[in-house]
């Protein structure tokens, strides 16, 4: 995990300079880099395509942008940070006095050294984001304003990576790829998802795992619109965001509140004794609100550390690679692995010898426990599995009711299954 944490942080640093938005070459460049870690199927959806109640917008690309003083000095420069330009700014080339320019400038007075992140996706507008201290230092006078961008018919781009499982039922892991230089709110989730995919690919999971790298809101809506006929395969899901900050882990439950992924995450977080929060669903946040819209009502929750808007650095230049840590991302990855290990093994069984307690000794089941430090616990797990294997209770039910670790219950079920006492 330590090594994975360092590698994930290196991926964040690699992706950080790219100017991402809901469309454009920044998204493609991001997916190209991610594709060097896990193979991606990249989809291009044309401008104007109807996706549920939305329409794929025009594609936005930007080459350069700046504000220069009369001496030609760039006082605000897109080349220094992609945050300096209002996302989806229409092109502009003009000279104007500072008094007129101010209407197009965005700052954070409470954090005078930070640059805010602002967008204007669906309203034609242009603007610059800068530190308040930079604005305060600008003398009155004329300034050259230049945004070399294009807003034209093109495509919305998203990527998918599938880890085949033993069954076609799917778990989706979704992260958004639409934010520019923001390390925690965007890139940490991308990094954790990517390394989770790499880990699962080394195993033979029960479920098929589908990883979605899509622009926020419009990307998830586009994926849902293009997969309505097969969305019933999605049995569980997790949205990853804000996955690398120093805060405690936070799980936001699905709209259902009692979906299996909700129960698994609650169990894993509690059993791990990590400091954490479990929040109720709200129809605001990341793309869990699309997957959990009432027409789909998928069992999809959201895992983060500090949730969106819950930390001062959120949507500012202070959300940089120094703000996220390898240790925090490794911890988020570890929780995902633990949760999916439970999800993959959570079965319902039927006791094939339900009348009275079957004799375990003559089947060698007690002998198999010899020398274990948790012999008594393992014996109790067998008894609990036998008693609750009525086709209605899952192994997670057994773990919760007995207070035993899920791993112990799953091992007991495996032994009983091997002895022919239970069947799935």
115 touches 129 (CB < 8 A): yes
Is 185 labelled a binding residue?
yes
Question: What angle in degrees, to the nearest 10, is found between the helix axes of 395-402 and 375-388?
Answer: 120
φ, ψ for residue 346, nearest 5 deg: -80, 95
| Contact criterion met (CB below 8 Å) for 57 and 121 | yes
Q: Is the dihedral of CA 15, 17, 22, 26 positive or negative?
A: negative
| Residues 181, 186, 190, 192, CA torsion sign | positive
315 is in an annotated binding site: yes
**Residue that has been written with the tokens 């093994």 in this structure:** 345
> Token digits for 145?
């304003």
Gyration radius (Cα) of the chain, Å: 25
Three-state DSSP at 57 gives coil
DSSP, residue by residue, 275-324: -EEEE---S-SSTHHHHTSTTT---EEEEESSPTT-STTTTBTTSSTTTS
Determine the Cα–Cα distance for residues 177 and 175; give it in Å rounded to an integer.
7
The DSSP result for 205-255, as a single string, is: -SSEEEEEEE-TTHHHHHHHHHTTTTGGGEEEEEEE-S-SSSSPEEEEPPS
Q: Which of 196, 177, 195 is nearest to 187 (CA)?
A: 177
Nearest in space to 149 (alpha carbons), one of 77, 67, 218, 59: 59
β partners of residue 85:
128
If you search the block for the tokens 């954070």, which residue do you land on?
Answer: 108
Residues in the chain: 424
CA end-to-end distance (rounded Å), the chain: 33
**Contact yes or no for 37/118 (Cβ under 8 A):** no
SS3 19: coil
Q: Say whether 53 counts as a known binding-site residue.
A: no
Beta bridge partners of 172: 210, 237
The binding site for Zn(2+) consists of: 179, 185, 315
The binding site consists of: 179, 185, 315
């Amino acid at each position: 995990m330590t090594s994975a944490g360092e590698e994930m942080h290196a991926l964040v640093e690699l992706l950080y300079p790219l100017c991402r938005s809901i469309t454009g070459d920044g998204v493609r460049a991001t997916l190209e880099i991610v594709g060097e870690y896990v193979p991606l199927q990249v989809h291009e959806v044309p401008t104007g395509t109807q996706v549920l109640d939305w329409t794929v917008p025009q594609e936005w690309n930007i080459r350069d942008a700046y504000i220069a003083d009369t001496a030609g000095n760039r006082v605000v420069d897109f080349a220094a940070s992609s945050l300096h330009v209002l996302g989806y700014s229409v092109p502009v080339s003009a000279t104007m006095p500072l008094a007129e320019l101010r209407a197009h400038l965005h700052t954070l007075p409470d954090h005078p050294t930070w640059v805010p992140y602002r967008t204007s996706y669906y309203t034609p507008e242009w603007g610059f984001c800068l530190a308040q201290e930079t604005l305060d230092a600008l003398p009155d006078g004329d300034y050259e304003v230049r945004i070399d961008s294009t807003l034209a018919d093109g495509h919305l781009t998203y990527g998918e990576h599938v880890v085949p499982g033993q069954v076609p039922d799917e778990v989706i892991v979704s992260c958004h790829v639409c934010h520019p230089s923001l390390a925690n709110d965007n890139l940490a989730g991308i990094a954790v998802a990517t390394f989770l995919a790499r880990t699962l690919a080394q195993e033979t999971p029960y479920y098929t795992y589908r990883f979605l790298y899509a622009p926020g809101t419009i990307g998830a809506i586009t994926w849902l619109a293009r997969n309505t006929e097969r969305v019933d395969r999605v049995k569980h899901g997790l949205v990853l965001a804000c996955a690398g900050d120093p805060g405690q882990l936070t799980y936001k439950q699905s709209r259902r509140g009692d979906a299996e992924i909700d129960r698994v995450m609650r169990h894993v977080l509690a059993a791990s004794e990590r400091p954490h929060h479990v929040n109720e669903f709200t129809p605001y946040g990341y793309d869990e609100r699309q997957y959990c819209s009432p027409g789909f009502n998928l069992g999809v929750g959201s895992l983060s550390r500090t949730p969106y808007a819950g930390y001062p650095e959120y949507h500012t230049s202070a959300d940089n690679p120094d703000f996220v840590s390898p240790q925090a991302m490794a911890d988020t990855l570890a929780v995902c692995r633990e949760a999916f290990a439970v999800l993959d093994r959570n079965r319902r069984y039927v006791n094939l010898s339900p009348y009275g307690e079957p004799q375990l000794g003559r089947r060698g089941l007690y002998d198999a426990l010899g020398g274990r430090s948790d012999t008594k616990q393992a014996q109790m797990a067998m008894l609990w599995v036998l008693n609750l294997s009525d086709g209605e209770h899952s192994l997670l039910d057994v773990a919760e009711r007995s207070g035993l670790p899920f791993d112990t219950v799953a091992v007991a079920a495996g032994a009983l299954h091997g002895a022919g006492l239970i069947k799935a």
